[in-house]
Chain A
Amino acid sequence: MTAHKYQRSAFVCAVAMLTAAGASACSGSTQGGASGGAPAGGAATLTIQGDAGNPALVENFNPLQPSSALHGVNLIYESMEIVSPIDGTFTPFLATGNKFTDPKTLVFTIRQGAKWSDGKPFTPSDVVFTFNLLKKFPGLDGNGVWQHLSAISTTGNDVTFTFNAPNVPFASTIAQIPIVPEHLWTSVADPVKFTNTKPIGTGPFTLGTFAPTQYALTKNTSYWQADKIVPAKVLFPAQASNQSTNQLDVSSGKFDWAYNFLPDVKTTYVARDPKHNIYWFPPGGTIGLYLNLTKAPYSDANFRKGISLSLNRTTIADKAVNGYLGQASMSGLILPNLQKWLDPTLANQGQVAQSASAATTAFAKAGYTLQGGKLIGKDGKQASMSIVMPNNFSDWVAAATEVTNELKKVGMNVSTDLPQFAQYSQQIQSGTFNAAMGGFGGTGTPYTDFNNALNSSFAAPTGKLTANNFQRFKSPAVDQSLAALASATDESAQKQATTQLEQAMYNQTPIVLLYYGGSWGLFSTKSFTGWPSATDPYTLPTNYNNSLLTVLTHLKKS
């Protein structure tokens, strides 16, 4: 500490005397200074901005309950394989690989030599046990695995999954179910409510210490690829409930890996330690304007195209995500992540540019013309729209405000509606909205993205809840393409079906896709390198799901 800094502390101590702290605040302030600085402990300890746990973390390491389990559970348990959320590439973990013997039969070959952290060997029967557990307790089957599976069996090192119907893309869901040890979980009476405070997994880490403000994982030296794991310890300090406080915490350089939106990241993060602080904000999903297709004039594809052509998506992205990410491709694919599936015949990679004349033409086809500054339909009424979104999703609100302004310029009467999240979700699920902001895609698998958004089986009648296809899109041709993609095992057939879906998205505009939502990865190379980046995009920088495990197997000592 320099002399100059001492003066400041002395001043603060004098102030502190007046407050609750009293005399001992002065000794405390030194401690505060230390903990506010860089991560201590050298290269062996990795500090990750942890779970939102305020005022206290709830101890839960049940890997089959991802919504209530703490993030660290992803380093304790493993699944058969991990599928990249960027481009859908499979990386083997507890399995060495998988193949479809026919579009309804999927075989995983299970890895030999892996061990549970209590020393017992991991076997194919653990896999079978886990999937049967999901069947017995539907409360654990959040992915609806058993809506698609009819049977599971094992022969030697192979585990065979039989599907009800051809569903090749569903392999990624099966592959990523965390596997739990049969010898311990067989005696758990209610695995749904089980908090598993002494987790035994096959993963690279075991639970070290747990406190309501922070937990620590220590390296599992008997891990089957222990040589790939560099950190000896991983710390997960809890986040604050206040976003501004969290941003200061991240900026102060406390973490090796944080996940946080920061405005002006070059100043607020990189410049704080230009030698070590890096960031990567890849697209992790698409944000779009959902129009209720059961209502006129939104039921008319020409009208939807008119809206799409009236928007300046670059400005929208600038307003919503500080320009960190750009406008979305109307192909429905997240680019550049899914570049290899992109239909080359789509103009400008499927990006729709603002064009007043093209919009006028499209609106005219739908029967709407500009009269006295207002877009008037055949019924003589002005086209109007109310866009609903949750009031606390600030980037959606910013985007919708810009959309509102731009659509007003083409003569529409547009307003926004900002209720609580619960009310928003009620409206979009029951189909009572007329326009809404919403997320699309982001699974890394084109089939899953398109199927959730466009499959007519999700298009429930208005008033009935649906979890997908909120806009209620129905098209037999699209359903056929989806079915074709589901049963395609070779890449050319997959490409053909994906291209059809992209064209449906582009030409019929079931959702007006606007911009890419970001994945806010902030890293420090002070102790570790090998973070995912634009040049090595092996996974998204999300530090709350199984990307944790992928990243930990890539980290090197710096």
Chain B
Amino acid sequence: MTYLTRKVVLFVITLWAAITLNFALPRLMPGSPVDAALAKLASSGQSVTNAQRHAIEVQLGVPNTGLLSQYGSYLKNIATLDFGTSYSFPSETVAQTIGKALPWTLVLVGTSTVLAFVIGTLLGVYAGWRRGRSADSVVTLGSTLFAAFPPFWLGLLLLYVLAFNWNLFPIKGGYVPGATPNLSLAFFGDAVSHSVLPGLTLVITTLSGWVFGMRNNMINTLGEDYVTFAEANGLRTRTVALRYAARNAILPNVTAFGLSLGAIIGGSVLVEGVFSYPGLGNLLYVAVTNHDFPLMQALFLVITLSMLVAIFVVDLLYVRLDPRIRQ
């Protein structure tokens, strides 16, 4: 079997396993969505009767068919993107709710991830090249310090200083309240100003991973014979650092980058929560706190799928980057 077919088969098997797990987990949890809904009802001061339990079962479509036929219709629903109706947003389908939140997360977390990767990797190259000197200490110490901030705390800090005290950015949301998302320049500018703080928070707190990965790989690579050879040949420092050392040192970071791209879809629950950003992370928070099973199940599925696809793509990319893998 070639490398490619092996990867495709593996992908299909993991995909099936993930989808099945997503089906099984909620059913293995103690309690049921009906119990959760009844608890909510009871907490509002109403007494719960058997008639109400039945009514909720009917509403939620709790099936009394066998597991196997449930599984069948679950697979069919996934294929048709039919995840039912969420309890928190009853006026639209789960697919619509997720569809609305997805672009916000993709752009915010996606851009921040790419920026953190680019900036972090460049800083790592620099620190690795000047290892042991003061520039190295500044970069490594600095990024360690920022990595130690919990993201939601840094978010609140930025919010307090930049948005509250200095009025430079809006306090919350993805755009000015009352606006309708559209493609106009004014809306785009507004959305950008709302995304600066959450973006900054994400970049600052994820930077250090890239810095350290790259710096340590650089140091390893710099010890290789071909680097010494290149230096001995009198190549310019810059050329040696970037074209010889960094190019070889970046491979593990690329893998990690692929994985973190997959994680983008999951969004950042805490950071999006602090800024009330209209993305998937915030949606997941709402779904979990409201025991919104249809929404939760669909979100977990989307997160798992995007992770799997990202791993698959990274696998394929490796074939291009490293010829040794191809056999």
Contacts of B45 in A (CB 8 A): 467-468
B42 touches A36 (CB 8 A): no
Asked if A237 and B168 sit within 8 Å, CB to CB, the answer is no
Question: B279 on the interface (CB 8 Å rule)?
Answer: yes
Cβ of A245 and Cβ of B159 under 8 Å apart?
Answer: yes
- Rounded to whole angstroms, the CA-CA distance of A237 and B178 in the bound complex is 8
Chain A residues with Cβ under 8 A from B169's Cβ? 12, 28-29, 32, 36
Is B189 part of the binding interface, using a Cβ–Cβ cutoff of 8 Å? yes
Point out the residue from B42, B115, B188, B196 that lies within 8 Å of A465, measured CB to CB. Answer: B42
**Which of B43, B163, B189 interacts with A24 by CB under 8 Å?**
B189
Q: Which residues of B contact A249 (CB under 8 A)?
A: 171-172
| B interface, CB within 8 angstroms of A | 36, 39-40, 42-48, 88-91, 97, 100-101, 107-108, 111-112, 115, 119, 156, 159-160, 162-164, 166-180, 188-190, 192-196, 199-200, 203, 273-279, 282-283, 285-286
A474 to chain B, nearest CB (A): 18
Which of B48, B163, B196 counts the most A-chain CB atoms under 10 A from its CB? B196
A32 surroundings in chain B (CB, below 8 A): 163, 167-170, 193-194
**CB of A216 to closest CB in B, whole Å:** 7
Contacting pair A244 B156 (CB below 8 A): yes
- List of B residues within 8 angstroms of A242 by Cβ: 172, 273-274, 276
Please judge, given known A-B contacts A18-B119, A58-B89, whether A248 and B274 are in contact too, CB under 8 Å.
no
Distance A22 CA – B285 CA, assembled complex (angstroms) = 28
Q: How far is the CA of A24 from the CA of B195 in the complex (A)?
A: 11
Closest chain A residue to B112 by CB distance? A20
**Which of B90, B111, B173, B188 lies at the interface centre, i.e. has the most chain A CB atoms within 10 A of its CB?**
B173
Docked-complex contact A211 and B178, CB < 8 angstroms: yes
Chain A interface (Cβ < 8 Å from any Cβ of B): 5, 8-9, 12, 15-16, 18-22, 24-25, 27-29, 31-33, 35-37, 54-56, 58-60, 67, 142, 195, 209, 211, 213-216, 235, 237-238, 240-242, 244-245, 248-249, 251-252, 421-422, 425-426, 429, 465-468
Tell me what chain B mostly uses at the interface: helix, strand, loop, or mixed: helix
Residues of B within 8 A of A425 (CB): 39, 42-43
Cα A27 to Cα B112 in complex, Å, equals 20
Contact B195 A56 (CB under 8 A): no
Partner of A19, one of B88, B172, B199: B199
- Interface centre among B89, B159, B164, by most chain A C-beta atoms within 10 angstroms, is B164
**Minimum CB distance partner of B200 in chain A:** A19
Cα distance A333–B193 when bound, in Å? Answer: 50
Is A55 within 8 A of B112, CB to CB? no
Query: Is A238 within 8 A of B285, CB to CB?
Result: no
Q: Which of B107, B178, B279 contacts A209 (CB 8 A)?
A: B178
Tell me how far the C-beta of B275 lies from the nearest C-beta in chain A, rounded to whole angstroms: 7
Of the candidates A5, A54, A213, which one forms a contact with B175 in the assembled complex, judged by CB atoms under 8 Å apart?
A213
Q: Which residues of A contact B276 (CB under 8 A)?
A: 54-55, 240-242, 245
Q: Which residues on B sit within 8 Å (CB–CB) of A31?
A: 170, 176, 189-190, 193
**17 sample A-B contacts, Cβ–Cβ < 8 Å, listed by A number:** A12-B162, A19-B200, A19-B203, A29-B193, A32-B193, A32-B194, A33-B168, A56-B278, A58-B88, A58-B90, A58-B91, A241-B286, A245-B274, A245-B276, A248-B159, A248-B163, A422-B40
Which residue from chain A places its CB closest to the CB of B114 in the assembled complex? A20
